[in-house]
Amino acid sequence: MPQEPSIKPPRLVRLSILAVCLFLLGLVIVYVLQQGRAKAAPQAGTQANMHASLDTFNAFDTQKPHAKEWDTKELGIKKLSAKQRDIKEWNAKELVISLQLRRQFDDIILTLQTIAANKNSATELLNQLASNLSLSEYGQRQLHDLFSRYRLYTMALANLKPSQLSMDFVDIHAASALLNQVYKLQQVHFNEIEISAFFEQENNYDRHALARVDIRQDPSLTATQKQQLLAYQISQLDEASQSAIQPSLDAQTIANALQNAPFEAAGDPEHSAKVALWSPDIQQRVQQFQQRNQQWQTKVNDYLAFSAVLTAKLETEPLSQQAHIRQQDNYLKQHFSSNEIKRIRVFIAHPELLNLP
């Protein structure tokens, strides 16, 4: 079977196709070379500019030997400042609401009252406080808002305080109503977290103080019952509050004890109950005072007895008035100190002060 002859394109056509392929390859090579030059040109320009700058800098450095060192230090300072700014932003804090912050607000308000404050003074002081606390931007806004509300609260609180206060008697109902108004003001200006941080300790102290006043003024309670209830109230306070009021309570206890006879009957149940509530320090101080008071009254009694004998001698013995006074003075100098002599002369002039049995 005869084979079919293969069909081949003419030679001219093959050459044309090859020429077109070579032309396209050339275009691709040209494009790649142009792109390479475009990228290399900015780098070359940058390098040229860098070399020119270095040449200029070197020339300047030749004229001023310390210029390069100074510029390096300045660059270092700028980099350090930028680093510090980054650290400051990283360490920025939110506002922590505490009793200490309230004290700082009070200091700012006091400063504004004592200086010739302008409308920007509060902002400047708050910005300084925010800087000291390293607050974030949100924390700074919180600080300004909270201070504004606290300042309004203090102004409203000043209008609530009564103009006249009695130091002898406290009206429980009026005092309770006043505290309730204070609590309402706190709820108007602050949320629960802020009230707890700013006023919890103060509110707790006020409630206990009012309860102690109520106990003292209750006519249905005996002195021992009052003392027992007061001791319980004080035990409910925190340690700092107890330490603050304890000296006053001790002084009141001692004063009440000293109004009694120097030595009360040990078998008296009322007296025993009182003594049981005293601290060892109070018991010791009361006992020491009573002993000194007893010694004093004994010395006064002895002097009065001597003076009575001396006066009786005036009727039986020819003793001049000057000799009588001289003997009294000698007795006083022998048995009393200079301060005690002044004290007894006052008592002799006013016998009711001696409080002798």
**Whole-angstrom Cα distance, residue 205 to residue 30?**
91
Q: What 3-state DSSP class applies to 64?
A: coil
Q: Rounded to whole angstroms, how far apart are CA atoms 16 and 22?
A: 10
- Say what percent of the chain tops pLDDT 70: 62
Q: What is the pLDDT of residue 53?
A: 47
Q: For residue 147, what pLDDT is reported?
A: 96
Question: From CA 80, how far away is CA 76, in angstroms rounded?
Answer: 6
158-175 per-position pLDDT tens digit:
888 665 555 556 778 888
pTM tops 0.85: no
Crossing angle of helices 137-160 and 172-189, rounded to 10°: 150
User: Can you give the pLDDT at residue 189?
Assistant: 96
Helix (H, G, I), strand (E, B), or coil: what is residue 93?
strand
- State residue 186's pLDDT score: 96
User: For residue 174, what pLDDT is reported?
Assistant: 84
At a CB cut-off of 8 Å and minimum separation 6, what does 226 contact? 215, 216, 218
**What pLDDT is attached to residue 54?**
42
H or E element at residue 173? helix 172-189
- Write out residues in the chain with pLDDT < 50, as ranges: 1, 44, 48, 50-80, 83, 85-90, 261-263, 265, 356-357
Going by C-alpha positions, the residue among 135, 152, 222 that lies closest to residue 188 is: 152
* Structure confidence at residue 229 (pLDDT): 86
Side chain identity at residue 243, one-letter code: S
Per-residue pLDDT, 166: 56
What is the structure's pLDDT at 77? Answer: 36
343 is written with which tokens?
Answer: 């004290």
Within a 10 A sphere around the Cβ of 257, how many other Cβ atoms? 20
**What is 210-224 written as a DSSP string?**
HHHHHHHH-TTS-HH
Q: Is 98 exposed, middle or buried (0-12, 13-18, 19+ CB in 10 A)?
A: exposed
Where do the domains of the chain lie?
72-246, 275-353
